[in-house]
A and B are shown apart, each in its own frame.
Chain A
Amino acid sequence: MLRICFVFGFALALFAQEDVATLLEQKCLHCHGGGLELGKLDLRTRAAVLRGGEHGATVVPGAAATSKLIRMVSGLDTPRMPLGGSLTEGEIRLLTDWINSGAKYPDRPLVAKQSVVSTEPPLRDADKKWWAFQPIAKPAATIDSLIKASLVKKELRPAPRADRSTLVRRAYLDLIGLPPTPSEVDAFVNSKAPDAWSRLIDHLLASPHYGERWGRHWLDVARYADSNGYEQDFDRPNAWRYRDYVIRAFNDDKPYDAFLTEQLAGDEIDHPTYDSLTATGFLRSYAKVGFREKDNPEFRYEYLDDMIATIGRGVMGLTVQCARCHDHKFDPISQKDYYRMQATLFGYVEVDQPLVPPAEAKIWREANARVDAAITELRDRIRILEAPYAAQILPNKYKRFPANVQEAIATPEAQRTPGQTLLANQVTRTTRASAAEIDRICSPADLATRRQLNAEIAALDKKRPAPVPMAMSVTDGDYRFTPDGPGDEPAPGKGIKAEAIAGSFLHEGPNRYSAPPSFLLVRGDIHAKGEPMRPGFPRAADWGGLPVEVPPASGQTSGRRLALARWLTAPENPLTARVMANRLWHHHFGRGIVPSLDNFGRMGDKPSNPELLDLLATELVTRRWSLKSMHRLIMTSETYQQASAIEDPAALSSDPTNKLLWRYPIRRLEAEIVRDQVLAVSGTLNQTQFGPAIFPPLPAELLASSAKGIWNQQPDGPETWRRSVYVYRKRGLPFPMFETFDLPDQNIACGARNVSTAPTQALYLMNDPFLLRQAHLFAERIREAGGDPVATAFRLALARGPKPEERTAVATLDLDALAQVVLNLNEFLYLR
């Protein structure tokens, strides 16, 4: 009996093994075994299963409950497997029992029963009807009528107009990020002109500081920085030209459609300009590993993903990047949509464009090439001269390696064991005789010759043409032939990999350029190439008719990025105008009509006032994408000019967060504006615009925390008392004051910044040497102004005079104390 039970149990176990094998073959192996091993997981053999995949062990025999396989198929861990279909309870129980009884495999090879088919889910009606994809409908209304209508529904009333001194400070800080001087305040407060407000707005829009303020908002979207990030954090010596381009574009009121087109395809438009070539730095502002991307293609896919994320979130308000590994979970963006967009960008290469006329650039390049060639020849002569000396030196250098290495090197190549060959190669291929070592044994004659050759090299080097200004750009080309740049020196002994294909970095004609092929990557795995992809636009937002390539006459690029720009700025595309109109509203009111500025999809927020959003989007397009015109429209509304004080306490209970805008929202100024305002109030702001970044002093310990890259420390003084938009943005070391005041991470496109209140902010304002020095200079300014110091301090910092009770509060303070206290006031740090 016992024996029968045993045999029966054994047979059952065998049956179970076979059932499990069949289950695996039908449901799992097409992705995890055979041709594809997604997640580097192979479920075909027991050994492979125990080894697991890139996410770790899959099965721990005897412990089904904690085995990853069970957690994944039962949905305890995500994503639930198998993708696109789930197992029945019975099947999960079968797997559970199998693991608990040891996870044995049948004695036969397992083979997948299905192959991967990449399908694209059809668009559903609900997808097509999603609000963000609907055409913009212009309401017959105004900003104020729409705001009032939503207030009336809640029985709320708008606040009265703010007083004039509040309004003038609001307009200055909002539009140019600097406070008004007392005389500017007086001029507006005392003006009898009926159009004083709109004239003030025009005056500020014409200020060169406007671009420094509003350009910075865009630089957040562009994840702009002056260094590469990652290990070496290399300096990007020309990055600032893109920053200046953005500031100038805002100052010039460059239409937003042209602004976008230049940034996406400034090299592909009909008449590229220095500006438009510089603008393509937008695409290149990703954090970069900087280690031979052509040998490490996985990095390049990350950069492409970063571009897709930035364009998706920054311009379209869609999280396209979520569809890299699978169809988007919530929005109608298929994985193919993602790879269509990747195909659009796939030809890109990084290139530094000389910002001089082509003829001059050609002369410059050729002159440099001549010097390079001459120097190469001289270096070769030196190498030949040094060779016999190096041959004497090297055997001595090998002596500092352990005995087994020396023995390997001493053994004739043909007689070395495989291990000795490896050891000997490691050392001989990476050991060099240094110039100093050769000097010591070199004959006087050879030494003189070498010195002469080196002098000739130095002289040639001096004959290089003066550097020309360069823009950090992208254009189309073939990344597989990228020349080495900083950080691309191959690791010692690795050498440059010879390419097995013919081609060139930039297209050299005479045929038209064609982009290197790109593919759908199954599960986003660069080793799992699926079908070849053509460029295209997300289907849910594709209104048809627009070409996916607009090749330029020169034939040097694919025209795919230009096609993308045309599609984004087409009148039928509602995303671009809505997203930008919403950004403008956000920066004027502290909250977007769609609060999730970068996500108009299902996981984002819905518009609180859809008609208002459409009104603004229509106006933006009608006004030929003029942002300055939009500022005028928004700021001349009554809604914008409301007081921020609470007039009606009842309103607080019916709309406590002021979502409906029954008053002007109070909000903290951004990090840069806090610093700029301090400089302006103390009277020390250096208004120099543009050019290479500044490096205000940082404590040595802080610099030590990030040893790589540059921080060309300047002493605290007028040279560094420039606006914050010019402070060097180092990815590896965010400027601490900015970080304390919620600088967004510099590596991800960011629309809405966080606003936090932390004691470190108080510590900065209480104790930082920069702040205290500025407070002292502010005190000096108050003293020099003579008269009533409290009134001077308040008028300079807050655009208003002090109240009697405020005078009492500061009565016992000396000037330095008064100045510092004023710079710490809530009112000073907030826009209201």
Chain B
Amino acid sequence: MQSRRKFLLEAGGGLGALALTSLEAATHHAPRAKRVISLFMSGGVSHMDTFDPKPALARYAGQPLSGKGDIVVRQGHPGPLMPSPFKFHRHGQSGLEVSELFPKLGALADEYALIRSVFSKSNDHVQAHYALSSGQIRMGFPSLGAWVTYGLGSVNKDLPGYVVLYDQRGGPFGGPANWTAGFMPAAYQGTVFRASGDPILDLKPPPGLSNDEQRKRLAALAKLNAIDAAQTPANTELAARLESYELAYRMQSAAPEAVDLASESAATKTLYGLDQSHTEPFGRQCLMARRLVERGVRFVQLYHGGLGNQNLDTWDAHEDVRSNHTRHAAATDTPIAGLLTDLKARGMLDDTLVIWHGEFGRMPISQRGLGRDHNPGAMSIWMAGAKIRGGQVIGSSDEFGYKAEEQPISVHDFHATILHLLGLEHTKLTYRFNGREMRLTDVYGTPIPQIA
């Protein structure tokens, strides 16, 4: 399978737009999802204030967290246990408990499987981002999207297979290394789509160079390259370069069309929150994501939370979890609920996987009375679509939410599960780098049994 993938790349894939004839040709088993939308809440969402209610925090409020060994905080000294300032409500047939921060997502509780026992390795934002992005806390390893695109290719040859839309306030912690192709060819790295203007860097010629003029230049180029190619028959690489110009030319119209929201109905725009200033930015990202997957993009990576003012513009609630999380939940609740609703209405949710997570959870103890520090020991994530049984809760954290307790799920397990749903066996999806068969999950990972 690898040599086949490699051959296809050399024969002119590029941009993850591998001309794999059918999805089944590349998978190891029947896939349940054909595409992924990943919603990365950058900065670290507090699980105790969103998806993992902890009544014990109210019972023991103001007391130290004891019997857990050394409490390692990122900033300053550990504080006492702090209850959530938010109420939790039961939702749907499942009765899933979700905090009042997410009224609309709460109402969709039966659509996603909630995992309350995910843990990671680092309490450093950047390392924790890389862990979720690539399975490694070190820089330089291919991202999940790169692996998926390598494994499956893209359906639409005029669009990249792996698209990244980051927060308009700035990139996430760790920047572009989050969507790198690492040691794989550049073709598998995420392509950043910008929220305004031309979506891709260098997509359009600058003003002053008309479409006709460009067409004329490309025609002359094609003729000259053809004359040259006659001397080097059977050189697939040169042939692929000829084709890459055709692809690039088509992409110039396909990419702007894919993210042009003008043709969306007013109702759809309202569904995603485009009519409200606080939900508009992420609503736009979510709606663009739906349009991209609709057009065959394999993996769309969204970020909410960008490096402008770290404490304000990301979920990094050191100062005040109430005000921080209220702001970010309000900005994302409608857009994400809109996305799930819309995908479902269009019949796409069954074979689209939607994942939601941050880079770590937060501490059950307070930071200076109102804030919460980083906590890689436990976090809540959810997965929707791909015929995953919604409303179920998998695993649990301890009574305070300090550490994963029942059925702890590692990031490798999470990644193995995602690949599994896409029809890929995580132990078999390998890329040979310098004499070793590299894997997204390194030598670890087990698909989560309740989902796989």
Contact = CB atoms under 8 A, between A and B. Distances in A.
Contacts of B406: 50-51, 57
Interface in B51-107: 62-64, 74-81
A708 interface: yes
Interface stretch (B32-40, B169-177, B264-272, B274-282): B169-177
A740 B240 CA distance: 16
A707 B80 contact: no
B183 A748 contact: yes
A747 B126 CA distance: 15
Contacts of B124: 230-231, 289, 291
Interface stretch (A94-102, A246-254, A488-496): A488-496
B176 A492 contact: no
B13 to A, nearest CB: 8
Contact of A732 (B12, B175, B231, B240): B175
Interface in A14-71: 50-52, 54-57, 60, 63, 65-66, 68, 71
B307 interface: yes
A554 interface: no
A430 interface: yes
Interface stretch (A186-194, A273-281, A622-630, A807-815): A807-815
A87 interface: no
B323 interface: no
B250 to A, nearest CB: 9
Q: Is the interface of B mostly helix, strand, loop or mixed?
A: loop
Given A60-B449, A405-B369, A767-B205, A756 B435 contact: no
Given A79-B443, A423-B79, A423-B80, A754 B176 contact: no
A602 to B, nearest CB: 8
Interface stretch (B218-226, B285-293, B340-348, B382-390): B218-226
Given A604-B435, A809-B227, A759 B186 contact: no
B75 to A, nearest CB: 5
Interface residues of A, number: 117
Contact of B224 (A322, A701, A754, A810): A810
B234 A809 contact: no
Contacts of B221: 821, 824-825
A646 interface: yes
Contacts of B216: 812-813, 817
Contact of A745 (B140, B241, B247): B140
- Give the interface SS of chain A, mostly helix, strand, loop or mixed: loop
B355 interface: no
A756 B9 contact: yes
Given A57-B409, A745-B180, A821-B217, A404 B189 contact: no
B370 A401 contact: yes
Interface in A127-159: none
A81 to B, nearest CB: 11
Which residue, of A56, A57, A65, A68, has the highest number of chain B Cβ atoms within 10 A? A56
Contacts of B15: 758-760
A764 B245 CA distance: 11
Contacts of B328: none
Contacts of B209: 767, 772
A426 interface: yes
Contacts of A767: 202-206, 209
A365 to B, nearest CB: 33
Contact of B231 (A289, A417, A645, A754): A645
Interface string A491-529: 111100000000000000000000000000000000000
Interface in A743-767: 743-748, 750, 754-764, 766-767
B434 A599 contact: yes
Contacts of B242: 826
B370 A402 contact: yes
A371 interface: no
B87 to A, nearest CB: 18
Contacts of B335: none
A313 interface: yes
B22 interface: no
Contacts of A748: 140, 182-183
Given A57-B408, A426-B367, A825-B228, A809 B223 contact: yes
A705 B238 CA distance: 33
A812 B212 CA distance: 13
Given A426-B76, A603-B436, A817 B201 contact: no
B251 A759 contact: yes
Interface in A417-470: 417-420, 422-423, 425-427, 429-430
A768 B205 CA distance: 7
B253 interface: no
B180 to A, nearest CB: 7
Q: Which of A493, A706, A747, A826 has the largest count of B CB atoms less than 10 A from its CB?
A: A826
B266 to A, nearest CB: 28
B202 A426 contact: no
A826 B228 contact: yes
Interface in A711-761: 731-734, 736, 739-748, 750, 754-761
Interface string B411-452: 011000000000000010000001110000001111101001
Given A492-B76, A756-B187, A762-B248, A699 B201 contact: yes
A54 B229 CA distance: 55
A768 B78 CA distance: 51
A315 interface: no
A641 to B, nearest CB: 18
B435 A419 contact: no
Contacts of A77: 427, 444-446
B226 to A, nearest CB: 9
A229 B452 CA distance: 36
Contact of A827 (B166, B228, B244, B369): B228
B201 A821 contact: no
A766 B191 contact: no
A287 B365 CA distance: 33
A492 B194 CA distance: 36
Most interface-central of B63, B217, B237, B405 (chain A CB within 10 A): B217
A743 B240 CA distance: 20
Contacts of B231: 645-646
Given A401-B369, A707-B308, A231 B139 contact: no
A652 B174 CA distance: 46
A646 B232 contact: yes
B184 interface: yes
B220 A810 contact: yes
A599 B80 contact: no
B176 A705 contact: yes
A5 interface: no
A750 B410 CA distance: 30
A763 B200 contact: yes
B395 interface: yes
Contacts of A732: 174-177
Given A702-B201, A745-B140, A766-B205, 19 more contacts: A54-B410, A66-B449, A78-B427, A402-B370, A419-B64, A425-B77, A426-B367, A491-B76, A598-B435, A646-B231, A699-B201, A704-B170, A705-B175, A731-B177, A732-B176, A756-B186, A759-B244, A760-B186, A768-B202
Interface of A: 50-52, 54-57, 60, 63, 65-66, 68, 71, 77-79, 229-231, 233, 287, 289, 291, 302, 313, 319, 322, 401-402, 404-405, 417-420, 422-423, 425-427, 429-430, 491-494, 596, 598-599, 601, 603-605, 644-646, 649, 652, 656, 666, 668, 699, 701-702, 704-708, 731-734, 736, 739-748, 750, 754-764, 766-769, 772, 803, 805-806, 809-810, 812-813, 817, 820-821, 824-827, 829-830
16 contacts: A55-B445, A57-B407, A230-B174, A287-B138, A603-B435, A656-B234, A743-B186, A745-B139, A745-B183, A762-B247, A763-B248, A764-B202, A766-B245, A767-B203, A767-B209, A769-B206
